[in-house]
Chain A
Amino acid sequence: MVARSRPLSPHLQIYRPQLTSVLSITHRLSGVALTLGTLLLVYWLVAVAAGPQAYEAATGFIGSWFGRLLLFGWSLALFYHLCNGIRHLFWDMGIGLDLPSVYRSGYAVLAGSVALTLASWIAGYGVMGGN
């Protein structure tokens, strides 16, 4: 079908990215990333149940630089999805739907998710005494 090769609305190729559209697709991306992250969650739970050796292996992986990178990404995705999810729920109640509010809450979500992620990691390293 020839018609199929035409760009579809909203013509993403020529559409200038804006805060609104970027935050919107990021909600979807973070949701999918969090779903992948549940694999790590289940692995960790099963490792605790399986015993000390399995748990050592799990924490060895999670504590490696790659594991920490995954965990950092997961925490950022979670805080973003959480903050923006709350924004979605307010919209569903009809609150904050005018353009200035949408931009204000958008910046608040960005600042909030970065701040919460950093605060959690600082607290976590604090609990561990800097390891």
Chain B
Amino acid sequence: MSLRSPFGRVKGLGAAHEGVHHWWAQRLSALALIPLTVWFVVSLVSLSGADYATVRAWMGSPVVAGLLILLIVTVFYHAALGLQVVIEDYVHTEATKIAALLAVKAAAAVLALSGVLAVLDVLFGA
């Protein structure tokens, strides 16, 4: 016998009220991060000791700028989802938990936006 109500079973969202969406989003963002982080580290290695003009020219090329924006957005999405799980595991006071979750989401949004704007500035700037 299941202890879940028929309505709860039909919605299929489980105890966290959101079903498997979070789980899938974390895996898909992880999958996308594999090539993106490898590309980024290889780029950083090849830029070791490069001067300002070289780095700026690199960042200002459309393909690099596009990949950087993808990387930034995916990293902050993945990190926010990940930190959410960490907070839910360790913070058990409802008010503190909600405050911490909101703070993480807000910080991730602000940082991601700053990064994207910086890349766009270099891409379209003089």
Contacts and interface: CB of A to CB of B under 8 A. Distances in A.
B41 A92 contact: no
Contacts of B122: 48-49
Interface residues on A, range: 20 to 34
Say what secondary structure dominates the interface of chain B. helix
A55 B30 contact: no
A128 interface: yes
A45 B118 contact: yes
B55 interface: yes
Nearest to A56: B52
B48 A124 contact: yes
Contacts of B46: 127
A1 interface: no
A131 B55 CA distance: 18
A48 to B, nearest CB: 6
Interface stretch (B1-9, B11-19, B75-83): B75-83
Interface in A22-55: 28, 31-32, 34-35, 38-39, 41-42, 45-46, 48-49, 52, 55
A86 interface: yes
B45 A48 contact: no
B86 interface: yes
Interface of A: 28, 31-32, 34-35, 38-39, 41-42, 45-46, 48-49, 52, 55-56, 75, 78, 82, 85-86, 88-89, 92, 120, 123-125, 127-129, 131
Interface of B: 27, 30-31, 33-34, 37-38, 41, 44-49, 52, 55-56, 59, 68, 72, 75-76, 79, 82-83, 86, 111, 114-115, 117-119, 121-122, 125
